[in-house]
Protein backbone atom coordinates (compact mmCIF):
# COMPACT_ATOMS: atom_id res chain seq x y z
CA UNK A 1 0.00 0.00 0.00
CA UNK A 2 1.21 3.51 -0.87
CA UNK A 3 1.83 5.70 2.17
CA UNK A 4 2.80 9.02 0.62
CA UNK A 5 0.76 11.36 -1.58
CA UNK A 6 2.34 13.80 -4.05
CA UNK A 7 0.82 17.13 -5.06
CA UNK A 8 2.62 19.48 -7.43
CA UNK A 9 -0.20 21.36 -9.08
CA UNK A 10 -2.59 23.93 -7.64
CA UNK A 11 -6.28 23.16 -7.98
CA UNK A 12 -7.97 24.92 -10.92
CA UNK A 13 -11.20 26.86 -10.64
CA UNK A 14 -14.30 24.90 -9.59
CA UNK A 15 -17.99 25.65 -9.12
CA UNK A 16 -19.66 22.74 -7.35
CA UNK A 17 -21.99 21.44 -4.69
CA UNK A 18 -20.67 18.79 -2.30
CA UNK A 19 -21.65 16.94 0.85
CA UNK A 20 -19.27 15.78 3.56
CA UNK A 21 -19.70 12.82 5.88
CA UNK A 22 -21.53 12.78 9.22
CA UNK A 23 -20.39 14.73 12.26
CA UNK A 24 -17.78 12.80 14.27
CA UNK A 25 -18.78 14.19 17.68
CA UNK A 26 -22.43 13.32 17.08
CA UNK A 27 -21.63 9.86 15.63
CA UNK A 28 -19.59 8.85 18.70
CA UNK A 29 -22.23 10.26 21.06
CA UNK A 30 -24.94 8.36 19.17
CA UNK A 31 -23.09 5.04 19.60
CA UNK A 32 -22.43 5.49 23.32
CA UNK A 33 -25.82 6.92 24.28
CA UNK A 34 -27.87 4.48 22.16
CA UNK A 35 -26.02 1.58 23.83
CA UNK A 36 -27.35 2.85 27.19
CA UNK A 37 -30.93 3.29 25.91
CA UNK A 38 -33.73 0.72 26.13
CA UNK A 39 -34.40 -0.78 22.70
CA UNK A 40 -33.38 -0.55 19.07
CA UNK A 41 -31.97 2.86 18.09
CA UNK A 42 -31.19 3.82 14.51
CA UNK A 43 -28.91 6.43 12.96
CA UNK A 44 -28.81 7.58 9.36
CA UNK A 45 -25.62 9.05 7.92
CA UNK A 46 -23.43 7.74 10.75
CA UNK A 47 -19.78 8.61 10.06
CA UNK A 48 -17.92 5.40 9.16
CA UNK A 49 -14.46 6.64 10.12
CA UNK A 50 -11.81 4.88 12.23
CA UNK A 51 -12.66 6.91 15.35
CA UNK A 52 -16.33 5.91 15.16
CA UNK A 53 -15.38 2.27 14.46
CA UNK A 54 -13.28 2.33 17.67
CA UNK A 55 -16.40 3.45 19.58
CA UNK A 56 -18.54 0.76 17.89
CA UNK A 57 -16.06 -2.05 18.57
CA UNK A 58 -15.70 -1.02 22.22
CA UNK A 59 -19.45 -0.98 22.80
CA UNK A 60 -19.82 -4.36 21.05
CA UNK A 61 -17.26 -5.83 23.46
CA UNK A 62 -19.57 -4.67 26.27
CA UNK A 63 -22.26 -7.01 24.95
CA UNK A 64 -24.26 -4.55 22.83
CA UNK A 65 -25.45 -5.68 19.40
CA UNK A 66 -24.73 -3.22 16.58
CA UNK A 67 -25.66 -3.69 12.92
CA UNK A 68 -24.07 -1.51 10.23
CA UNK A 69 -25.54 -1.21 6.73
CA UNK A 70 -23.62 1.32 4.63
CA UNK A 71 -24.02 4.50 6.64
CA UNK A 72 -27.15 3.28 8.44
CA UNK A 73 -26.70 1.87 11.91
CA UNK A 74 -28.81 -0.05 14.43
CA UNK A 75 -27.83 -0.27 18.10
CA UNK A 76 -29.72 -2.54 20.50
CA UNK A 77 -29.46 -0.68 23.82
CA UNK A 78 -29.88 -2.58 27.07
CA UNK A 79 -30.43 0.31 29.48
CA UNK A 80 -28.14 2.07 31.95
CA UNK A 81 -27.15 -1.21 33.63
CA UNK A 82 -26.98 -3.31 30.46
CA UNK A 83 -23.22 -3.61 29.82
CA UNK A 84 -21.59 -7.00 30.33
CA UNK A 85 -18.20 -6.54 31.97
CA UNK A 86 -16.10 -9.63 31.29
CA UNK A 87 -12.93 -10.29 33.29
CA UNK A 88 -9.73 -9.06 31.56
CA UNK A 89 -11.71 -7.00 29.07
CA UNK A 90 -9.64 -4.60 26.93
CA UNK A 91 -11.30 -1.74 25.05
CA UNK A 92 -9.30 -0.07 22.28
CA UNK A 93 -10.12 3.62 21.66
CA UNK A 94 -7.62 3.76 18.75
CA UNK A 95 -6.84 7.38 17.93
CA UNK A 96 -10.01 8.80 19.45
CA UNK A 97 -9.81 11.06 22.52
CA UNK A 98 -13.59 11.44 22.51
CA UNK A 99 -14.09 7.66 22.55
CA UNK A 100 -11.51 7.09 25.31
CA UNK A 101 -12.84 9.83 27.57
CA UNK A 102 -16.57 9.28 27.10
CA UNK A 103 -16.17 5.49 27.26
CA UNK A 104 -14.50 5.72 30.70
CA UNK A 105 -17.64 7.53 31.86
CA UNK A 106 -20.01 5.02 30.26
CA UNK A 107 -18.28 2.10 32.04
CA UNK A 108 -17.94 3.88 35.39
CA UNK A 109 -20.02 1.12 37.02
CA UNK A 110 -17.67 -1.68 35.81
CA UNK A 111 -17.45 -4.46 38.43
CA UNK A 112 -14.07 -5.71 37.15
CA UNK A 113 -10.99 -3.74 36.18
CA UNK A 114 -11.47 -2.79 32.52
CA UNK A 115 -8.40 -1.82 30.51
CA UNK A 116 -8.59 1.07 28.02
CA UNK A 117 -5.85 1.30 25.42
CA UNK A 118 -5.15 3.58 22.47
CA UNK A 119 -2.66 4.17 19.67
CA UNK A 120 0.71 5.97 19.90
CA UNK A 121 -0.90 9.41 19.62
CA UNK A 122 -3.69 8.73 22.13
CA UNK A 123 -1.17 7.26 24.59
CA UNK A 124 0.49 10.70 24.80
CA UNK A 125 -2.75 12.55 25.66
CA UNK A 126 -3.90 13.69 29.08
CA UNK A 127 -6.45 11.46 30.77
CA UNK A 128 -6.00 13.23 34.14
CA UNK A 129 -8.71 15.64 33.04
CA UNK A 130 -11.34 12.87 33.24
CA UNK A 131 -9.66 10.73 35.93
CA UNK A 132 -10.13 13.61 38.40
CA UNK A 133 -13.92 14.08 38.07
CA UNK A 134 -14.68 10.40 37.48
CA UNK A 135 -12.75 9.52 40.68
CA UNK A 136 -15.05 11.91 42.57
CA UNK A 137 -17.98 9.69 41.53
CA UNK A 138 -16.11 6.85 43.27
CA UNK A 139 -14.34 5.18 40.30
CA UNK A 140 -10.86 3.70 40.90
CA UNK A 141 -8.17 4.13 38.25
CA UNK A 142 -4.82 2.46 37.78
CA UNK A 143 -3.05 4.67 35.28
CA UNK A 144 0.26 5.38 33.72
CA UNK A 145 1.00 8.99 34.84
CA UNK A 146 -2.53 10.11 33.88
CA UNK A 147 -2.15 8.58 30.43
CA UNK A 148 -3.35 5.45 28.62
CA UNK A 149 -3.26 2.53 28.99
CA UNK A 150 -5.35 2.66 32.14
CA UNK A 151 -7.64 0.43 34.18
CA UNK A 152 -10.97 1.60 35.54
CA UNK A 153 -13.27 -0.03 38.09
CA UNK A 154 -16.47 1.38 39.53
CA UNK A 155 -17.55 1.46 43.21
CA UNK A 156 -20.63 -0.41 44.51
CA UNK A 157 -22.54 2.87 44.69
CA UNK A 158 -21.73 5.86 42.51
CA UNK A 159 -22.03 9.26 44.20
CA UNK A 160 -23.31 12.30 42.28
CA UNK A 161 -20.81 15.16 42.16
CA UNK A 162 -20.39 18.91 41.77
CA UNK A 163 -17.85 19.75 39.07
CA UNK A 164 -16.27 22.85 37.58
CA UNK A 165 -15.13 22.39 33.97
CA UNK A 166 -12.58 25.15 33.36
CA UNK A 167 -10.62 23.84 30.36
CA UNK A 168 -13.39 24.46 27.81
CA UNK A 169 -13.39 20.73 27.07
CA UNK A 170 -16.64 19.25 25.75
CA UNK A 171 -15.16 15.81 26.28
CA UNK A 172 -14.74 16.43 30.05
CA UNK A 173 -18.19 17.99 30.36
CA UNK A 174 -19.77 15.11 28.41
CA UNK A 175 -17.91 12.45 30.41
CA UNK A 176 -19.30 13.88 33.65
CA UNK A 177 -22.81 14.09 32.14
CA UNK A 178 -22.72 10.43 31.07
CA UNK A 179 -21.33 9.22 34.42
CA UNK A 180 -24.05 11.28 36.19
CA UNK A 181 -26.71 9.07 34.55
CA UNK A 182 -25.45 6.07 36.52
CA UNK A 183 -25.70 7.71 39.98
CA UNK A 184 -28.68 7.95 42.33
CA UNK A 185 -28.70 11.69 42.80
CA UNK A 186 -28.21 15.12 41.28
CA UNK A 187 -24.92 16.04 39.57
CA UNK A 188 -24.16 19.74 39.11
CA UNK A 189 -21.74 20.99 36.46
CA UNK A 190 -20.48 24.52 35.90
CA UNK A 191 -18.75 24.64 32.54
CA UNK A 192 -17.04 27.33 30.49
CA UNK A 193 -18.21 27.33 26.82
CA UNK A 194 -17.52 24.23 24.68
CA UNK A 195 -19.53 22.32 22.08
CA UNK A 196 -22.97 21.45 23.51
CA UNK A 197 -24.02 18.34 21.56
CA UNK A 198 -24.37 16.17 24.67
CA UNK A 199 -26.70 18.69 26.34
CA UNK A 200 -28.84 18.89 23.18
CA UNK A 201 -29.02 15.10 22.85
CA UNK A 202 -29.91 14.61 26.54
CA UNK A 203 -32.67 17.21 26.27
CA UNK A 204 -34.14 16.75 22.80
CA UNK A 205 -33.36 13.14 21.90
CA UNK A 206 -33.16 11.15 25.15
CA UNK A 207 -35.72 13.47 26.79
CA UNK A 208 -33.83 13.35 30.07
CA UNK A 209 -35.00 16.09 32.44
CA UNK A 210 -31.82 18.13 32.70
CA UNK A 211 -31.68 21.77 33.76
CA UNK A 212 -29.42 24.09 31.78
CA UNK A 213 -28.89 27.69 32.82
CA UNK A 214 -26.67 29.90 30.69
CA UNK A 215 -24.80 32.82 32.21
CA UNK A 216 -22.41 35.15 30.36
CA UNK A 217 -19.30 33.18 31.22
CA UNK A 218 -20.54 29.65 31.86
CA UNK A 219 -23.28 27.09 31.66
CA UNK A 220 -24.86 25.44 34.72
CA UNK A 221 -26.12 21.91 34.15
CA UNK A 222 -28.06 19.75 36.62
CA UNK A 223 -28.73 16.08 35.89
CA UNK A 224 -30.73 13.62 37.94
CA UNK A 225 -29.17 10.16 37.86
CA UNK A 226 -30.84 6.78 37.26
CA UNK A 227 -33.13 8.21 34.59
CA UNK A 228 -33.61 5.37 32.10
CA UNK A 229 -34.39 6.50 28.55
CA UNK A 230 -36.20 4.97 25.60
CA UNK A 231 -34.92 3.91 22.18
CA UNK A 232 -34.54 6.77 19.67
CA UNK A 233 -33.81 7.49 16.02
CA UNK A 234 -31.33 10.06 14.81
CA UNK A 235 -29.97 11.46 11.55
CA UNK A 236 -26.40 12.73 11.73
CA UNK A 237 -25.78 16.03 9.87
CA UNK A 238 -22.54 16.79 8.00
CA UNK A 239 -19.41 17.63 10.01
CA UNK A 240 -18.39 21.31 9.94
CA UNK A 241 -14.81 20.34 10.85
CA UNK A 242 -14.63 18.29 7.63
CA UNK A 243 -16.43 21.00 5.63
CA UNK A 244 -13.84 23.53 6.86
CA UNK A 245 -11.07 22.04 4.69
CA UNK A 246 -13.23 22.73 1.63
CA UNK A 247 -14.26 26.19 2.87
CA UNK A 248 -10.59 27.21 3.09
CA UNK A 249 -9.66 25.51 -0.20
CA UNK A 250 -12.39 27.49 -1.98
CA UNK A 251 -11.51 30.74 -0.23
CA UNK A 252 -7.84 30.48 -1.29
CA UNK A 253 -8.48 29.08 -4.81
CA UNK A 254 -9.04 31.28 -7.91
CA UNK A 255 -12.54 32.23 -9.15
CA UNK A 256 -14.26 29.30 -7.45
CA UNK A 257 -17.37 28.76 -5.41
CA UNK A 258 -18.75 25.88 -3.43
CA UNK A 259 -22.00 24.95 -1.73
CA UNK A 260 -21.60 22.40 1.06
CA UNK A 261 -24.93 20.82 1.90
CA UNK A 262 -26.55 19.78 5.19
CA UNK A 263 -23.86 20.80 7.65
CA UNK A 264 -24.32 21.04 11.40
CA UNK A 265 -23.91 24.78 12.07
CA UNK A 266 -24.47 24.59 15.83
CA UNK A 267 -23.09 27.96 17.05
CA UNK A 268 -20.69 26.15 19.40
CA UNK A 269 -18.95 24.82 16.25
CA UNK A 270 -19.08 27.70 13.74
CA UNK A 271 -16.11 29.70 15.05
CA UNK A 272 -14.28 29.09 11.76
CA UNK A 273 -17.03 30.85 9.77
CA UNK A 274 -17.19 33.79 12.18
CA UNK A 275 -13.39 34.14 12.16
CA UNK A 276 -12.99 33.85 8.38
CA UNK A 277 -15.80 36.36 7.84
CA UNK A 278 -14.01 38.79 10.16
CA UNK A 279 -11.00 38.26 7.86
CA UNK A 280 -13.14 39.30 4.88
CA UNK A 281 -14.42 35.93 3.61
CA UNK A 282 -18.20 36.53 3.17
CA UNK A 283 -19.22 32.91 3.80
CA UNK A 284 -23.00 32.47 3.88
CA UNK A 285 -25.12 30.04 5.88
CA UNK A 286 -28.33 29.26 3.97
CA UNK A 287 -31.52 27.17 4.44
CA UNK A 288 -31.21 26.82 8.22
CA UNK A 289 -33.37 24.12 9.82
CA UNK A 290 -33.65 23.03 13.42
CA UNK A 291 -33.14 19.29 13.94
CA UNK A 292 -33.54 18.16 17.55
CA UNK A 293 -31.80 21.30 18.76
CA UNK A 294 -28.91 21.16 16.24
CA UNK A 295 -29.01 23.60 13.31
CA UNK A 296 -28.53 22.19 9.84
CA UNK A 297 -27.80 24.41 6.85
CA UNK A 298 -25.93 24.77 3.58
CA UNK A 299 -22.66 26.69 3.56
CA UNK A 300 -21.82 28.86 0.57
CA UNK A 301 -18.27 30.12 0.01
CA UNK A 302 -16.47 32.02 -2.78
CA UNK A 303 -12.79 32.66 -3.49
CA UNK A 304 -11.48 35.99 -2.08
CA UNK A 305 -8.17 37.66 -2.71
CA UNK A 306 -8.21 40.66 -0.34
CA UNK A 307 -8.23 38.96 3.07
CA UNK A 308 -7.58 40.96 6.25
CA UNK A 309 -5.46 39.94 9.25
CA UNK A 310 -7.11 39.36 12.63
CA UNK A 311 -6.28 39.90 16.30
CA UNK A 312 -8.55 37.12 17.51
CA UNK A 313 -10.62 37.49 20.65
CA UNK A 314 -9.90 34.18 22.47
CA UNK A 315 -13.61 33.92 23.33
CA UNK A 316 -13.97 32.41 19.84
CA UNK A 317 -11.26 29.77 20.43
CA UNK A 318 -13.49 26.97 21.72
CA UNK A 319 -15.93 27.15 18.79
CA UNK A 320 -13.04 26.75 16.32
CA UNK A 321 -10.82 24.46 18.39
CA UNK A 322 -10.30 21.83 15.64
CA UNK A 323 -9.90 24.39 12.83
CA UNK A 324 -6.90 26.49 13.92
CA UNK A 325 -4.42 24.96 11.47
CA UNK A 326 -6.72 26.08 8.65
CA UNK A 327 -7.11 29.54 10.18
CA UNK A 328 -3.30 29.86 10.40
CA UNK A 329 -3.10 28.96 6.71
CA UNK A 330 -5.57 31.71 5.80
CA UNK A 331 -3.66 34.16 8.04
CA UNK A 332 -0.52 33.46 5.99
CA UNK A 333 -2.33 34.87 2.90
CA UNK A 334 -3.72 38.00 4.62
CA UNK A 335 -2.43 41.50 4.14
CA UNK A 336 -0.76 42.03 7.56
CA UNK A 337 -0.09 40.54 10.98
CA UNK A 338 -2.56 38.20 12.71
CA UNK A 339 -2.40 37.28 16.38
CA UNK A 340 -3.97 34.37 18.28
CA UNK A 341 -3.62 33.68 22.02
CA UNK A 342 -4.72 31.19 24.70
CA UNK A 343 -4.17 28.19 22.45
CA UNK A 344 -2.52 25.79 24.94
CA UNK A 345 -5.26 23.17 24.27
CA UNK A 346 -4.02 22.88 20.66
CA UNK A 347 -0.86 21.16 21.86
CA UNK A 348 -3.00 18.53 23.61
CA UNK A 349 -4.70 17.19 20.49
CA UNK A 350 -3.78 14.20 18.29
CA UNK A 351 -0.40 15.90 17.80
CA UNK A 352 1.08 19.14 19.19
CA UNK A 353 -0.93 21.18 16.70
CA UNK A 354 0.23 24.65 17.76
CA UNK A 355 3.86 23.56 17.26
CA UNK A 356 2.96 21.91 13.96
CA UNK A 357 1.17 25.03 12.74
CA UNK A 358 4.37 27.04 13.38
CA UNK A 359 6.52 24.35 11.74
CA UNK A 360 4.43 24.18 8.55
CA UNK A 361 4.26 27.98 8.20
CA UNK A 362 8.04 28.27 8.71
CA UNK A 363 8.58 25.58 6.09
CA UNK A 364 6.46 27.74 3.75
CA UNK A 365 8.77 30.69 4.53
CA UNK A 366 6.03 32.58 6.36
CA UNK A 367 7.26 34.72 9.28
CA UNK A 368 5.70 33.38 12.48
CA UNK A 369 6.63 33.68 16.16
CA UNK A 370 5.35 32.32 19.46
CA UNK A 371 4.00 35.04 21.74
CA UNK A 372 3.14 34.95 25.44
CA UNK A 373 -0.11 33.42 26.72
CA UNK A 374 0.22 30.37 24.41
CA UNK A 375 -0.14 32.49 21.31
CA UNK A 376 1.30 33.07 17.86
CA UNK A 377 1.77 35.99 15.48
CA UNK A 378 1.69 35.39 11.73
CA UNK A 379 2.96 37.85 9.11
CA UNK A 380 0.64 37.27 6.13
CA UNK A 381 1.39 38.06 2.48
CA UNK A 382 -1.40 38.14 -0.15
CA UNK A 383 1.14 37.24 -2.87
CA UNK A 384 2.48 34.20 -0.96
CA UNK A 385 3.48 31.61 -3.55
CA UNK A 386 5.21 28.32 -2.92
CA UNK A 387 7.68 26.86 -5.39
CA UNK A 388 9.95 24.58 -3.32
CA UNK A 389 9.81 20.95 -2.19
CA UNK A 390 7.85 20.36 1.03
CA UNK A 391 7.84 17.10 2.99
CA UNK A 392 5.35 16.52 5.80
CA UNK A 393 6.10 13.47 7.94
CA UNK A 394 6.32 12.15 11.52
CA UNK A 395 3.14 13.94 12.59
CA UNK A 396 1.78 11.02 14.64
CA UNK A 397 -0.70 10.39 11.81
CA UNK A 398 -2.72 13.42 12.95
CA UNK A 399 -5.61 13.50 10.45
CA UNK A 400 -5.89 17.29 10.59
CA UNK A 401 -2.16 17.81 9.88
CA UNK A 402 -2.46 15.55 6.84
CA UNK A 403 -5.55 17.35 5.54
CA UNK A 404 -4.32 20.91 6.16
CA UNK A 405 -1.06 20.11 4.35
CA UNK A 406 -3.08 18.83 1.39
CA UNK A 407 -5.10 22.07 1.32
CA UNK A 408 -1.90 24.17 1.55
CA UNK A 409 -0.44 22.26 -1.41
CA UNK A 410 -3.56 22.59 -3.56
CA UNK A 411 -4.14 26.26 -2.84
CA UNK A 412 -0.60 27.68 -2.59
CA UNK A 413 1.45 25.49 -4.95
CA UNK A 414 4.86 23.87 -4.50
CA UNK A 415 5.96 20.27 -4.76
CA UNK A 416 4.56 18.42 -1.73
CA UNK A 417 5.06 14.91 -0.41
CA UNK A 418 2.71 14.16 2.47
CA UNK A 419 3.31 10.94 4.41
CA UNK A 420 0.84 8.64 6.23
CA UNK A 421 -1.66 8.95 3.44
CA UNK A 422 -4.33 6.98 5.29
CA UNK A 423 -4.45 9.24 8.34
CA UNK A 424 -7.51 11.19 7.11
CA UNK A 425 -9.59 8.02 7.58
CA UNK A 426 -9.75 8.82 11.31
CA UNK A 427 -12.38 11.48 10.69
CA UNK A 428 -13.10 11.99 6.97
CA UNK A 429 -12.74 8.84 4.81
CA UNK A 430 -14.02 10.53 1.62
CA UNK A 431 -11.58 13.49 1.89
CA UNK A 432 -9.33 12.64 -1.08
CA UNK A 433 -12.22 11.42 -3.22
CA UNK A 434 -14.11 14.69 -2.68
CA UNK A 435 -10.98 16.73 -3.51
CA UNK A 436 -10.51 14.77 -6.73
CA UNK A 437 -14.19 15.39 -7.65
CA UNK A 438 -13.31 19.14 -7.67
CA UNK A 439 -10.40 18.52 -10.03
CA UNK A 440 -7.50 18.15 -7.59
CA UNK A 441 -4.57 16.16 -8.95
CA UNK A 442 -3.21 13.95 -6.19
CA UNK A 443 -0.94 10.98 -6.80
Active-site residues, by number, are 322
Count of CB atoms situated within 10 Å of the CB of 199: 22
Shortest distance (Å) from residue 130 CB to ligand S3P:
10
Q: Which is nearer to ligand S3P, 85 or 291 (CB)?
A: 291
Shortest distance (Å) from residue 29 CB to ligand S3P:
7
Return d(Cα 435, Cα 122) in angstroms, integer: 28
Q: Which is nearer to ligand S3P, 35 or 98 (CB)?
A: 98
322 binds ligand S3P (CB under 6 A): yes
399 binds ligand S3P (CB under 6 A): no
Cβ-proximal residues to 330 (8 Å cutoff; 6+ apart), any chain: 248, 251, 252, 276, 279, 281, 307
CA angle 27, 30, 32 (to 5 degrees): 110
b/e sequence 242-281, b meaning 16+ C-beta within 10 Å:
bbbbbbbbbbbbeebebbbbbbbbbebbbbbbbbbeebbb
Site string for ligand S3P, 365-394 (x = CB under 6 A): ------------------------------
Q: Is 185 left (phi over 0), alpha (psi -120 to 50) or beta?
A: beta
Return d(Cα 251, Cα 300) in angstroms, integer: 11
Shortest distance (Å) from residue 415 CB to ligand S3P:
31
Return d(Cα 294, Cα 193) in angstroms, integer: 16
Positions of E strands within 265-332: 284-291, 294-302
CA distances for 298 relative to 27, 188, 247, 290, 418, angstroms? 20, 36, 12, 13, 31
Return d(Cα 421, Cα 336) in angstroms, integer: 33
CA distances for 296 relative to 32, 240, 439, angstroms? 22, 10, 27
Shortest distance (Å) from residue 400 CB to ligand S3P:
9
Q: Tell which one of 48, 78, 182, 195 touches ligand S3P (CB under 6 A).
A: 195
Q: Is 332 helix (H, G, I), strand (E, B) or coil?
A: coil
Which range binds ligand S3P by CB under 6 A, 53-61, 164-172, 208-216, 433-441? Answer: 164-172
Residues 333-352 that bind ligand S3P (CB under 6 A): 345
Q: Which is nearer to ligand S3P, 175 or 412 (CB)?
A: 175
Return d(Cα 114, Cα 107) in angstroms, integer: 8
Return d(Cα 29, Cα 32) in angstroms, integer: 5
Cβ-proximal residues to 344 (8 Å cutoff; 6+ apart), any chain: 354, 374
Shortest distance (Å) from residue 321 CB to ligand S3P:
5
Which range binds ligand S3P by CB under 6 A, 165-173, 178-186, 269-277, 368-376? Answer: 165-173
Q: Which is nearer to ligand S3P, 180 or 252 (CB)?
A: 180
Q: Tell which one of 130, 134, 170, 258 touches ligand S3P (CB under 6 A).
A: 170
Q: Which is nearer to ligand S3P, 77 or 193 (CB)?
A: 193
- Closest-by-Cβ residue to ligand S3P is 25
Shortest distance (Å) from residue 63 CB to ligand S3P:
24
Whether a cis peptide bond, with omega within 30° of 0, leads into 149 is yes
Q: Which is nearer to ligand S3P, 320 or 364 (CB)?
A: 320
169 binds ligand S3P (CB under 6 A): yes
Return d(Cα 228, Cα 208) in angstroms, integer: 8
Return d(Cα 348, Cα 45) in angstroms, integer: 29
Q: Tell which one of 134, 247, 276, 321 touches ligand S3P (CB under 6 A).
A: 321
426 binds ligand S3P (CB under 6 A): no
Shortest distance (Å) from residue 348 CB to ligand S3P:
7
171 binds ligand S3P (CB under 6 A): yes
Residues 74-133 that bind ligand S3P (CB under 6 A): 98
How many residues touch ligand S3P under the rule CB under 6 A: the total is 11
Shortest distance (Å) from residue 2 CB to ligand S3P:
27
Distance of alpha carbon 398 from its chain centroid, rounded? 12
Which range binds ligand S3P by CB under 6 A, 14-22, 166-174, 183-191, 242-250? Answer: 166-174
406 binds ligand S3P (CB under 6 A): no
Residues found near ligand S3P in the complex (CB under 6 A):
25, 98, 169-171, 174, 194-195, 321-322, 345
Amino acid sequence: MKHIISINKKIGCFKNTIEVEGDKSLSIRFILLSSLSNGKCTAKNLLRSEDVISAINSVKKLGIKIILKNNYCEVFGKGLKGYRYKKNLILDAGNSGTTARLLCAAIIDAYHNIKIIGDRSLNKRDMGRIIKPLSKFGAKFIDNKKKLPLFIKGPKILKPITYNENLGSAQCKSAVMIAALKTNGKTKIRSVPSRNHTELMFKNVLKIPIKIKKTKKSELIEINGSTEFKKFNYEIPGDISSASFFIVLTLLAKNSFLRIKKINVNPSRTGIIKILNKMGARIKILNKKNYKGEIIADIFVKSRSNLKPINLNPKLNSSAIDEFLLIFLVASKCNGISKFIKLSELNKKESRRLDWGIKILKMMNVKVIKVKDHGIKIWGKPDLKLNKKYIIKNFLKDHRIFMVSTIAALSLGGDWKIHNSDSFKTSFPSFLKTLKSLGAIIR
